[in-house]
Amino acid sequence: MVRKRKVIIKKSALDSIISYCKMRHPNEAILLLCGKSSKDTATVERLMIPPFSYFGPYYSGFPTLLLPFDRSILGIMHSHPNGSSEPSLTDLNSDFIGYISMIVSYPYEDDDIHIYDSRGEKLEFSVEG
């Protein structure tokens, strides 16, 4: 059995994620999740806007070849303006970056945050100061 990674999100990063999603609505938003990682814990401390990112009401992305080599990139966040919290087939089959994938569903509040691993398994997370 594979142990699930523990995810911690800094409150300032969470507030920025929610604000960014609301600002981009009705289009999807996309961000890189950055921070520290150990064997079983990923701590999201800050965010990065992906270079040359693009978005619309049903999609978001960026050219992964232009992604900087940065070991602090823990994963990716994107929003679902339609309110769904489940990863789509495109989400599961596209390039998975890092360890975690976060989906923030409309109306973009604290309880609309959902985190998944590369297998599409939902991960629990906590928010810290």
**Mean pLDDT score, 63-88:** 91
pLDDT at 95: 64
Is the confidence at residue 21, as pLDDT, over 90? yes
Compute the C-alpha angle 89/90/95, nearest 5°.
Answer: 120
pLDDT bucket at 74, cuts 50 / 70 / 90 = very high
pLDDT bucket at 22, cuts 50 / 70 / 90 = very high
Amino acid letter, 86: E
Answer for the pair 78, 28: CB distance below 8 angstroms, yes or no.
yes
For residue 50, give every residue at least 6 positions away whose Cβ sits within 8 Å of its Cβ, in sequence order, or none.
30, 31, 32, 62, 67, 76
- In the DSSP assignment, the letter for residue 40 is S
Q: What is the pLDDT of residues 30-57, one digit of tens each?
A: 999 999 999 889 999 999 999 999 999 9
For residue 51, give every residue at least 6 positions away whose Cβ sits within 8 Å of its Cβ, in sequence order, or none.
62, 63, 66, 67, 68
- In the DSSP assignment, the letter for residue 29 is -
pLDDT at 45: 98
Is the confidence at residue 1, as pLDDT, over 80? no
Answer for the pair 100, 91: CB distance below 8 angstroms, yes or no.
no
What are the structural domains, with CATH classification, of the chain? 6-128 (3.40.140.10)
For residue 1, give every residue at least 6 positions away whose Cβ sits within 8 Å of its Cβ, in sequence order, or none.
none
Q: What is the pLDDT of residues 83-111, one digit of tens each?
A: 999 888 878 777 678 889 999 999 999 99
| Rounded Cα gap, residues 5 and 12, in angstroms | 21
pLDDT at 92: 77
pLDDT at 66: 82
